[in-house]
Amino acid sequence: MVLKEKSGNLFYFMKKQWPFYLIGFFTMSISIFLDMQAPGVIQRIIDEVIVKRDTGPLLGLVLTLLGIGVGRAVFQYMKEFSLDYAGTRVGKGLRLLLFEHIQGLDISYFDKTNTGELMARVKDDIDKIWGVTGFIGMFAVECVIHTISVLYCMFRISPVLTIIPLVIMPLVAITALKMEHNLGKIYEDISEQNALLNTIAQENLAGVRTVRAFARENYEIQKFQEENQNYYALNMRQARAIAKYQPNISFFTKIILIAVVICGGLLVMNNTITIGSLGAFTEYATNIIWPMECIGWITNDIASAYASYKKIQIIMGEESEIQNPNQETKVKLQQKTDLETGAEIEFDHVGLELDGKRILSEIQFHVHPGQTLGIMGMTGSGKSTIIHLLERFYDVTDGTIRIDGIDIREMDLKMLRQKIALVMQEVFLFSDTIKENIRIGKRTTMSEEVISQAAWMAGAGNFIEKLSNGYETVVGERGVGLSGGQKQRISIARALSKKAPILVLDDSTSALDMETEASIQKRLKELRGMTKIVIAHRISSVRHADEILILENGRIVERGNHEQLMAKRGFYYHTYCIQYDKETAEAAITNMEKEVNIYGSK
């Protein structure tokens, strides 16, 4: 069944657990049946033993009560285990489906959605649905069956006394429905506020070093306190709603017992029923009270779970605009994947517009297999966006991107991204061993030798092997415990170990010292069988590229190799002067002109 079919109906997961629901329903029915027998035994003890002063049947009746208690305990255990197991399985399946769906959504969805909100949906909201599809849901069913059974037994003893609960129960139901109506909107607001609170906590804890560095502890505490106060206020609204209606429910249930004792006593005095029958009826009246008292919190939990389910359905209703092509094109791509010379990349008049804003316009370049393309420009000029388009995080608005002559929109997404090894501008390391962080690209097939080679090529092998546990050293969340340069080198090693035909370096050496960067650049230059795209602010990172693009406001304003761009005395030349000095730049141009004249005369 496809994802959409699963997401449209919670019963898909519940149907898969039908054997456990069946066991739970069966054992629950037996437990209720046994429960209905106990007041009858009590009636016989009163009428046959106490009233008639005959102790003969007492032992048998006591053993019967004991057997009913033991049997009920056994079947209640089986009921709770099977239903909890079923609910757990439903929650597990729905949580996995939701997480898979989120993983498949466009990057643009994450641009506009808070991480804390998604965490609340995946954890808290699924937990509420888990409870309702497990014990709580079946407990509601048990309350209904139990109540009907009790009313039937009451009617058999005294139809007149049965009128008492039949009159009061609708009042309880009306009160419970009013409470659920008032709580429904509150639960939605609580769910939203919980997501916001999670977001603030997650952002603060992830950026705790920044908070400390700027002495923002008091500000962050105040911001959290404001949202925490809102969360408190919503929960107090919930508490007031429950306090308004729950005592009424308890009051009505107590009225049943009082009315049964008074009216039943009159019937006994008129010899309409026996005192044993009154005892049994009172026991049944006690048994009908707890389902009515539970109506409140059952409706609370169901209302809360329904609000959570609606939130989840909103996410499940999101569809990715980045779709895989048909099977025919996937086969075509597979035939062209194994290249030893690197991949060919072509941007043909590419443009991108997001949320009505033009990001890129008329981007055009052609990188032949094994060549290196450098991209420079001011911050926000669109450099990283080019890589996002190549990885198909977004689809182009205009033009076409081709790899090995194939439009990437016709490529299988997994195959496309397997062809590209990306070192991102913002390094992200998982809370795992260094070895696992490096081989994440091919974690099931990558050998220890490949990991080591990639680490040394990225300049990381030396410091890794000096660590107490070497490659088995566990780094903290987001690489906490490592310097910025060390994290960048591990990130580069991760990309190199993938051995993809395209290597993309997005400002990947910004945290490295000049000597380490030069060493890594030298090794990267020696790489064969790999097409490289290097995004950088440093001239040293791109000067040996076959072609260098200069971006400004999403457009290419300069292009050429190092010598050509220096001769143009534009952005590239001025950047060179800033990073080195003007005299060095002029001397470099003079030397290049001399070389041109020498080779030209020859």
pLDDT > 70? residue 339:
no
**What 8-state DSSP symbol labels residue 409?**
G
What is the CB neighbour count within 10 angstroms for residue 192?
Answer: 16
Domain edges within the chain: 7-316
Pair of tokens at residue 61:
């009746």
Mean pLDDT of the residues in the chain: 83
Q: What is the mean pLDDT of residues 213-236?
A: 84
Q: What percent of the chain has pLDDT over 90?
A: 22
pLDDT at 2: 39
Q: DSSP strand E in 370-451: where? A: 372-377, 398-403, 406-407, 420-423
Q: Which range is least confidently modeled, 87-96, 196-205, 282-291, 306-315?
A: 196-205
Amino acid of residue 136: I
The residue among 367, 368, 369, 411 whose CA lies nearest residue 386 is 367
pLDDT > 80? residue 462:
yes
pLDDT > 80? residue 473:
yes
pLDDT at 341: 63
**What 8-state DSSP symbol labels residue 535?**
E
pLDDT digits (tens, 9 = 90+) for 412-422: 888 888 888 88
Residue/partner pairs of 427-431 with CB below 8 Å, 24 or more apart: 427/479, 427/484, 427/487, 427/488, 427/490, 427/491, 428/478, 428/479, 429/475, 429/478, 429/479, 429/482, 429/487, 429/490, 429/491, 431/474, 431/475, 431/476, 431/477, 431/478
CA gap 364, 345 in Å, rounded: 11
Within its chain, how far is the Cα of 426 from the centroid? Answer: 21
Say which residue, 108 or 535, is predicted with more confidence: 535
CA gap 193, 196 in Å, rounded: 5
Q: Which range is least confidently modeled, 195-199, 456-460, 511-515?
A: 511-515
pTM of the predicted model as reported, rounded to 2 decimal places: 0.74
Q: Which range is least confidently modeled, 155-169, 201-215, 294-308, 337-351?
A: 201-215
pLDDT > 70? residue 587:
no
Beta carbons within 8 Å of 164's beta carbon, 6+ residues apart: 256, 259, 260, 263, 285
Q: What is the mean pLDDT of residues 51-79?
A: 89
The residue among 261, 266, 298, 40 whose CA lies nearest residue 150 is 40
pLDDT at 1: 37
pLDDT at 173: 78
Strands 372-377 and 398-403: unpaired
Q: Which range is least confidently modeled, 64-68, 141-145, 288-292, 358-362?
A: 288-292
Q: What is the CATH number of domain 7-316?
A: 1.20.1560.10
341 φ, ψ (degrees, to nearest 5): -105, 5
Q: Which range is least confidently modeled, 3-7, 396-400, 539-543?
A: 3-7
CA gap 210, 225 in Å, rounded: 19
CA gap 315, 319 in Å, rounded: 9
Please report which confidence band the pLDDT of residue 159 belongs to, taking 50, 70 and 90 as the band edges.
Answer: very high
CA gap 7, 99 in Å, rounded: 12
Q: What is the mean pLDDT of residues 522-539?
A: 83
Q: What percent of the chain has pLDDT over 70?
A: 89
Sign of the CA dihedral 586, 588, 592, 594?
positive
Q: What is the mean pLDDT of residues 528-550?
A: 87
R_g of the chain computed on alpha carbons? 36
Cross-sheet strand order for the sheet of 372-377: 420-423, 502-506, 531-535, 372-377, 547-552, 555-560
pLDDT digits (tens, 9 = 90+) for 368-422: 998 999 999 888 888 889 999 999 988 999 999 999 999 998 888 888 888 888 8
pLDDT at 352: 93
